Amino acid sequence: MGHNKHILRLLGVLGAVVVLFVVVRTMVVPKDFGKTGHFRFGAIEEEKAKTARFQGADACKDCHAEAFKTWTEGKHKHHIQCENCHGPRLWHVRQMNGEPDATPPKAYWNATGIVECKRCHVKTFERAPQVKSIESVQAHVTEMGGTFSPTTKCTDCHNQHSLEVK
């Protein structure tokens, strides 16, 4: 009897470690963790809370009635959204409202009148045939009887919103 004191002390130390672990764990793990599955429930709301940046063509029509009208009457309606060429609306609105920190991030863009067009309309072997393709801007301009220069843009001849030849 009495020769197991060191083992009891060892068990005491281990017990203390376990208690410490449980205490720290209760303090660290968020309360909503594991509520509906093995994850932090609040993360869903955090993900939802982000603001949508692309807001669709309808959001543009109040301020840009004329351009919107030309677009609806043109060939790109139902296909190309305003924001495809002009960049997402969110930052545009914020800038218009004069919000401070409303500088658009790097991934934003604005229409050039040629780069956007070429992505769909310059011939690529793999492209499905439903899209009208040209060999190159130069070939197209020459074929149509125009004069090509390195600064030639599609919007020189085409209305940028209806696509009709000017």
Partner 1 sequence: MSGCDNDDKDTSRREFIKTVLDAGAKTFTFGSLICITAKLRLPEAGASDGVVQKELQMPAIYGFLVDTMKCIGCGSCVRADKAENDVPEQYFRTWVEQYTFYENGEVVVNSPKGASEGFAEKGRAFQPKGDEKPVKGFFVPKLCNHCINTPCIQVCPVGASYKTPEGVVLVDKKTCVGCGYCVQACPFGSRYIHPVTNVADKCTWCYHRISKGLKPACVLACPVGARTFGNVNDANSEISKALRENRVQVLKSYMGTNPRTRYIGLDSEVI
Partner 2 sequence: MHHFFAEGYVLPNQIQIWWTCMIVLYPYITGIVAGAFIISSLYHVFHKEDLKPVARFAMLMALAFLLFAPTPLLAHLGHPERAFNIMFMPNVTSAMAGFGFIYLMYMLILVIEIWLLYREDIVFLSKNASTRVMRKVYWLLSLGVDDVSAEAKRLDHKIMMFLAAIGIPAACTLHGYVGFLFGSIKGNPWWATPLMPVIFLLSAVVSGIAMVLICYLAIQWVKKRPVDGACVQSLVEYLWYFLIVDVTLELLELINHAYMQNHDWEILKELLTQKLFFSLFVVQLGFGSFVPFVVLGALVIFRKRFSEKARSRLGFASAIILLVQVLAMRWNVVIGGQTFSKSLRGFLGFDIEFWGREGLLFTVVLFAMPFLALWVMSRVLPLWGPVSTFPKKYLRGGS
Contacting residues toward partner 2, per CB under 8 A: 2-7, 9-10, 13-14, 21, 24-25, 28-29, 33-34, 38
Is 108 a binder of partner 1 (CB under 8 A)? yes
Q: What are phi and psi of 49, to 5 degrees?
A: -70, -15
**Do 33 and 44 contact (CB within 8 A), yes or no?**
no
List, in order, residues 6 or more apart from 163 with CB less than 8 Å away. 74, 75, 76
Piece of the chain touching partner 1 by CB under 8 A; list 63-71, 119-127, 146-154, 155-163: 119-127
* Nearest-angstrom CA–CA distance, 80 and 74: 11
Residue 10 or 44: the one with the smaller Cβ distance to partner 2 is 10
Rg of the chain in Å (alpha carbons) = 31
Is 87 a binder of partner 1 (CB under 8 A)? yes
**Do 89 and 54 contact (CB within 8 A), yes or no?**
yes
Considering only residues 88 to 107 of the shown chain, the ones binding partner 1 according to CB under 8 A are 88, 105-107
Residue 4 or 110: the one with the smaller Cβ distance to partner 1 is 110
Residue 4 tokens read as 């197991």
**CA-based end-to-end distance of the chain:** 107
Q: How far is the CB of 106 from partner 2 (least distance, A)?
A: 18
Q: How far is the CB of 50 from partner 1 (least distance, A)?
A: 4
Considering only residues 137 to 156 of the shown chain, the ones binding partner 1 according to CB under 8 A are none
Partner from partner 1, partner 2, none binding residue 84, C-beta < 5-8 Å depending on class: partner 1
- Contact residues toward partner 1 (CB under 8 A) are 33-34, 36-40, 43-44, 46-54, 56, 76, 79-81, 83-84, 87-88, 105-109, 118-120, 122-128, 130-131
